[in-house]
Structure 1
Amino acid sequence: MLPPQQIAVIVGIGEVTDHNRDPAQVPEPTELIARALREAGEDAGDGWLKRLDSINLVALTSWRYHDPVRDICARLGIAPAHAVNSRRGGETPVRLLHEAALRVISGEHKACAIIGGEATNARTRARRARIELPWTPMPAPADSVEFPGLSTVRSPLAERYDMLEPSRIYPLYETASQAAWNQTPAAAHTESARLWERYAKVASVNPFAWISDAPSAEKISTIDSDNRLINWPYPKLMVANPSVNQAAAFIVTTLAEARAAGIAEERLVYVIGGAAANEPDDFLHRDRYDRSAAQEAVLGTVIERAGGVAAVSYMELYSCFPVVPKMALRFLAIDPEEAVPSVAGGLTFFGGPLHNYMSHAICAMVRALRTNRGAIGLLYGQGGYVTKHHAVLLGTQPPEHVLSSDPSVQAQADALRGPSPAVREAYSGPAAIEAFTVKYARDGEPLQGTLVLRTPAGERTMASVPAEDRDTLALLQSSDRNAVGVAGTVTLQPDGLAHWTPLMCAAAAPRGVAS
C-alpha cells in the first residue's frame, strides 16, 4: 500500500438547493455556496473549515462580485492562503478535484475545498417581477472579478451564422451521429428520450434535484407548448436547465490527514486516477462530428485504469445534451437501453447550475460509494462545445499506484484524430450536408436552418436555409430520413450569407465526409 500521505481522499461533501419561488427569500449565490461549504465541513467533522488552506470557486455567473471567493471565506470566518476564482467550463469541478488531489499528495496543501453555485432562477424571477434583490450590490463590470474563460475561438464563418451557443453546436454532433449510427431521426429521438428518462428517475430520488417528478420517455419526446423545440432535434426537456438555485462543495485531503483527524474509514472516498484532453477550440476545425477523439482518449484511459467497464459500479456521464452520453456509451460498448449513466440526475432534471453541475455529481458519487464498499465510480465532465474532457475515478479502497502528476492524454487524442478539412469562408457551388440544425422561435416555428457542408473537394463551409424555404426545412426536420449526405447547391446572397437548396435527387455523402 502507498504511504497515506501519497493518497488523496474526499472527506466532506455539502449541497444546498433552494426552491423558494419568492426571489427575495433566496440567499444570494455567495451565501448559498457558503452554506454548502459549511455542510461539507460538518460532514467531514469538527474543525475542517479551519484546516482548509486552499479554496477554488468554480466560475460564478448569476451575480457579479468584486472577489466572490473571499466573500465566501469572510462569511465563514476563514482565511485560506490559496483562494482562487477558477475558470469556466462544465469539466471544471472534475479538473479541480484532480488538481486538488495532486496538490495534497505533493504536500503543497493540506486540505482543499472546491465550491460553486448559482442563483439563476431567483435572479430571473426578480428581473421578470422587477424586484430589487437584497443581495450584495453588484459592482460595475470593470470592478468585478473576471473568471478565466473557456477559449472561444470561432471562425468568422461560424459567427456569421450565429453558431455561438452550445445549444446550436451540440445538435451538429447529434445529426452527424445519427447518420453514422444508421439511425432514423425518429429512432434517435426515442433513444434520447429513453436515456433522459433514466436520468430523470435518478433525479427523482435525489433530495437536491430541481425537478423530481420523473417525466416519462413519452413526455420527454413529445413536442408541445410545454416542451417546445429549441434547436433541432432537441426540445426543452433534452437540454440543460440552468434556471436553478443550487450550490455544492467538497473537501479533499490526504489519507494521513484524514486518519489524524479520526475520520472513520467508511467515510473516505479515494481518488484513484484521471485523464484529460481537448478538441480544437473552433468546432469548424475539428475532424468530424460523429465522435470525439478527446472523449475516447479520456474514457479509454480511465476505464483501463479501473480494470474494465465491468469494474465500474457507478457513472456520471455529462449530460448537457443527449449526444454526449450517447457517444460515451457507444465508445464504452454499453447498451444505451440498459445504462444508468448518472448518480445525480443530469443537467435537465437535477438542474444545470452552469459550470458547477459536476460538483453536485461528485457529492452524489461520494454518497453512493459510502454505501457500497469496494465499488468504483466514474466521473466524466465536459466543457465548451464537446471541447474539454476530464474524467476521474473514485473508489472505496486505497489505490495501488500514486496519482499521475500529469493527467493529459492529449497525445493519444491527437493520434486518434483525423485531419481537419480546410474551411471555405465564402463559397458557392455544389455541397452536401455534413451536419445541421434548425433554430426555433418560442412559438415553435422554425427560424432558420444552419448547415455545415462539404464541397466536392472535401472542404468545409456553411450555409443557411431561410424560414420561407418550407420544403427544405421539412427535409431537415424529417423523422424518417436524416439529411446528412444530401447534396445541394450553395448560393451566395447579397447580405453575405449563403443559402443551400437540395438537388431534386439526393446524393450520397460527399467525398471527405467521414463514414
Structure 2
Amino acid sequence: MTSQDDRTPVLIGVGQAAERPTDADYRALSPADLAGEAARAALADAQASGDLAGALDVIVAIRQFEISSPGAKPPFGASNNFPRSVARRIGADPARAILEITGGQGPQRLVGEFCEAIVRGEAEAVLLVGSEAMSTVLTLNAKGETPDWSETVEGAVEDRGYGLEGMFTPSILKHRITGAIPAYALFENARRARLGLDRPTYARKMGELFAPFTRVAAANPYSASPVEKTAEELVTVSDKNRIVADPFTRMLVARDQVNQAAAVILTSVGKARALGVPEDRFVYLHGQGDANELTIMERPDLSASPSAIAAGRKALELAGKTVDDMAVFDFYSCFPIAVFNMIDGLGIAADDPRGLTLTGGLPYFGGAGNNYSMHAIAEVVPALRQRPGAFGFIGANGGMLSKYSAGVYSTTPADWSRPEARRAKIPYDPVPGLEVDTATGEATVETYTTTTTRSGPAIVVIARLPDGRRAAANQASEAAFAELAAREPIGRRVRLETDAEGFNRFTFID
C-alpha cells in the first residue's frame, strides 16, 4: 500500500453552521437542524460529482451537553437516534449510526478511529457531526416558548455511553468540586504556584494568553461572541466579569451559550475519486495521539497533565514532524490552563506568531459542548488547502484535563499502510490509595479555588498530608476568606477536621 493507495483515508469535506439570537435571520434551530445544516455544508465543501450523501455508510454524532450525563433532561426533548436524525435531513441511510461518549476529545479521536476503520475496510465514507443549541434554549425559555424538539427515528444506533469514569471522585464531589470550572481552577492555581507568581501577575498572563484569541474570534463569522478584547478587559473584575472560581473571571472560561454545529467527512482515496471529489479537497491525518489522565487526586502534579502533552508529542512523532514544522495550531481553550499545559509541554511561546487558535477559542468563538474541536478541524482543513504542503496541529481536550487527542494534518499524502504508525494510545497506570475521604490533623495546601453554590460561597483546598496522601476540604467562614485575601494560601499549613456530616473542614494555622 502506497501513500495514495485507494484505501488511504482522507478528509474531503468540512462544514459549519451557527446562529445568534441577535441575527436578523435567527431561526431558533434545534440541535438536529443545526447539525443537518453543518452536514450539508460539508457535503457541498467536498464538491463531489456523485451522490456523496448516499454513499455515507457511517454517521457518528457527538453528544450534546444536554444528553451528556445520566440525569440530564433536554428541556425541549431530543431525538431518540441523533445520528439518524441528521441522516434523514441530508438524504443518507448509513449502515451504522453511532453516538459518541462525552468529552471534547471526541471529534479528533474519532478522526483517528475512522481513518483506521477505512484502511481496514470497515468503512468507506464517514460523517462526523455534532451541534449545540444552548443559547436558543435560554432565549426561548426566557420568552416562555417551549418547542418540541423530540424525534423518533427508526434504525439501530450504537450508543457508546457517557464515558464519565475517572473525571471526579466521591470526595472531590462532596467538597464542592462538582464541575469543570472549579476543577480547572484548582489546576490553574497549582500552575501559578509552581511558577512562583503572585495573583496579579498570573492574572495578567492569562489575559495576555487569551487576548489574541478574541481577535481571531472577532473575525470568524461563526463566532458566538465576535468581539475583540484587551488582556486587561479579560481579567478585570466587574459586574459583567465576575470571578466564577478563583482565579477565573467569566471572560476566561468556555462560553457554553452557543448555537453551533460542525461536520467532517472522511472517505478512502478510492471512494473519493469514484465520487468525483477533486483532489484539491484532500487533507490527510498524518499522526494522532490519544491519552487519558489520572484522576485529580492521583496526579503527582496538579499543575499539569503529562498525558495530554504525551499525546501531542506522539502525534508529531508519528507524523515525522516537530512543533517548528507546524504552520497552524488550534489548542483546546476551555480555560487558560488547557492551553498553558500544552504549550509548556511542547515548548511553544504564548505569543508565538503563528497563533494558538484557528477558531477564536472556546470563551470567544464558543464552547460548542463536546463538539468544539470539530469546528477546529473544520478550520484547519481550508487553512491547509490554502497552503499546500503545510502542516497543522489540533489539540482536543476532554474531561477534567483528563482526556486528550491530538492530530497533525496536511494536504501532503500520508502512508497508512501501517495504521499503528499513524495512531497510538498513550498508556497510563492508576495510582490507587492517594485520596483520603476523611482526614484529621495537619496538612499543607497544594492548591485551592473558590466556589459558589446554593449553600453560598466557600473555599476549597486540596491538601497534602504528612504521609503524601491527599484530602479535599472546604471552609465558608469569613475568617477563612479574610485569610485568603490577605495571604497566598498555597504552601500554608492547615488543620483538617471531619465534621459530623463527613465533610473535611480546614483552618489556616500559619
TM-score, structure 2 as length reference = 0.90
Among candidates 346, 353, 378, match of residue 368 of structure 2: 353
2:381 matched to which residue of 1? 366
Cα distance in 1 between the residues matched to 2:424 and 2:493: 40
Q: Secondary structure at the match of 1:201?
A: helix
Mapped to 1, the partners of 2:477 and 2:371 lie a distance apart of 36
Q: For residue 410 of structure 1, what is the aligned residue in structure 2? A: 426
Equivalent pairs, count: 488
Query: Cα deviation per residue 1:37-58 (whole Å; 9 max; x = unaligned)?
Result: 0111111124211111111001
> Within 5 Å, which residues of 2 pair with 1:253-272?
253-272=267-286
In the aligned structure 2, how far is the partner of 1:258 from the partner of 1:321?
38
Superposed CA RMSD in Å reads 2.4
2:26 counterpart of 1:20: no
Name the SS of the counterpart of 2:478 in structure 1.
coil
Instruction: Encode CA deviations 1:40-85: one digit per residue, 9 max, x unaligned.
Output: 1111124211111111001124442211211221222221111112
> Residues 306 and 312 of structure 1 are in contact (CA less than 8 Å); yes or no, is this contact kept in structure 2?
no
The reply to whether residue 316 of structure 1 matches residue 322 of structure 2 is no
Which amino acid is the alignment partner of residue 6 of structure 2? Q
Contact 1:287-1:421 at 8 Å conserved across structures? no
**Is 1:463 the equivalent of 2:473?**
yes
Deviations 1:275-319 (A, max 9, x none): 111113x32222221121211211121223342110011111111
Q: Which amino acid aligns with 1:430?
A: E
Q: Is the 8 A contact 2:329 2:393 kept in 1?
A: yes
Displacement after TM superposition at 1:197 (Å): 0.8
Once the 2 structures are TM-superposed, how far is the Cα of residue 401 of structure 1 from its aligned partner? 5.4
Question: Where in structure 2 are the equivalents of 1:57-68 lying within 5 Å?
Answer: 57-62=61-66, 63=74, 64-68=78-82
**CA distances 1:69-126 after superposition (whole Å, capped 9, x unpaired):** 1122122222111111222110000111111211112221111010000111111122
Letter in 1 for 2:440: S
Write the deviation string for residues 150-192 of structure 1: whole angstroms up to 9, x where unpaired: 2244433122212121111111111111111222222221111
**Matches for 1:416-427 after TM superposition, within 5 Å:** 422-427=434-439
Pair 346,375 (structure 1): closer, same or farther in 2 beyond 3 Å: same
Letter in 1 for 2:213: Y
Letter in 1 for 2:509: L
Deviation at 1:404, TM superposition (A): 2.6
- The alpha-carbon deviation at position 7 of structure 1 amounts to 2.1
**Deviation digits for residues 190-244 of structure 1 (CA, Å, limit 9, x no counterpart):** 1111111111111112111111111111110111111111111001111111111
The one-letter amino acid of 2:53's match is L
8 Å CA contact 1:210, 1:349 repeated in 2 = yes
Deviating 4+ runs (over 4 angstroms): 21-24, 144-147
Q: Unmatched 5+ residue regions in structure 2?
A: 67-73
Which residue pairs with 1:210 in the alignment? 224
What's the CA shift string for 1:331-353, capped at 9, x where partnerless?
Answer: 11111133611111111111011
Distance in structure 1 (CA, Å) of the matches to 2:372 and 2:238 = 27
| 1:389-438 Cα distance to aligned partner (Å, 9 max, x none) | 11111111012454634834333x55xx9x56622211111111111111
CA deviation vs aligned residue, 1:338-395 (integer Å, no higher than 9, x gap): 3611111111111011100001110011111111111111111111101111111111
2:290 paired residue number: 276
Q: State how 1:377-392 maps to structure 2 within 5 Å.
A: 377-392=392-407
CA gap of 1:401–1:98, structure 2 versus 1, over 3 A, is closer
Q: What is residue 507 of structure 1 aligned with on the other side?
A: none
Q: Distance in 1 between matches of 2:483 and 2:305?
A: 27
Structure 1 distance, partners of 2:417, 2:346, is 25
Seen in structure 2, the aligned counterparts of structure 1 residues 485 and 403 have a Cα distance that, compared at 3 Å, is: farther
Q: Please show how residues 37-436 of structure 1 align to structure 2 within 5 Å.
A: 37-45=39-47, 46=49, 47-62=51-66, 63=74, 64-133=78-147, 135-137=148-150, 148-153=161-166, 154-280=168-294, 282-304=295-317, 305-338=319-352, 340-400=355-415, 402=417, 404-405=419-420, 407-411=423-427, 413-414=428-429, 422-436=434-448
Q: Tell me whether 218-227 or 485-494 shows the greater mean CA deviation.
A: 485-494
SS of match in other structure, 2:6 = helix
Are the aligned partners of 1:449 and 1:473 in contact in 2 as well (CA < 8 Å)? yes
Distance 2:149 2:434 in 1: 49
Contact 1:273 1:403 in 2 (8 A): no
Q: CA deviation at 1:440?
A: 3.8
AA paired with 2:46?
A: A
Separation in structure 1 between the aligned mates of residue 335 and residue 228 of structure 2, nearest angstrom: 17
Instruction: Give the deviation of 1:274 after TM superposition.
Output: 0.4
8 Å Cα contact 2:315/2:423 also seen in 1: no
- Tell me which residue corresponds to 2:69: none
* 1:240 match: secondary structure: coil
TM-aligned CA distance change 1:477 to 1:272, over 3 Å? farther
**Do the aligned partners of 2:445 and 2:464 also contact (CA within 8 Å) in 1?**
yes
Give the TM-score of the pair, scaled to structure 1.
0.89
The one-letter code of the counterpart of 2:27 is Q
> C-alpha separation between the residues in 2 aligned to 1:145 and 1:447?
42
Structure 1 position 28, deviation (Å): 1.0
CA contact (8 A) 1:306 1:393 kept: no
Cα distance in 1 between the residues matched to 2:418 and 2:406: 13
Matched residue of 1:463: which SS? strand
Q: Distance in 2 between matches of 1:313 and 1:477?
A: 43
**One-letter code of the match for 2:61?**
L
Query: In the alignment, residue 162 of structure 1 is paired with which amino acid?
Result: R
1:175/1:482 contact within 8 Å kept: no
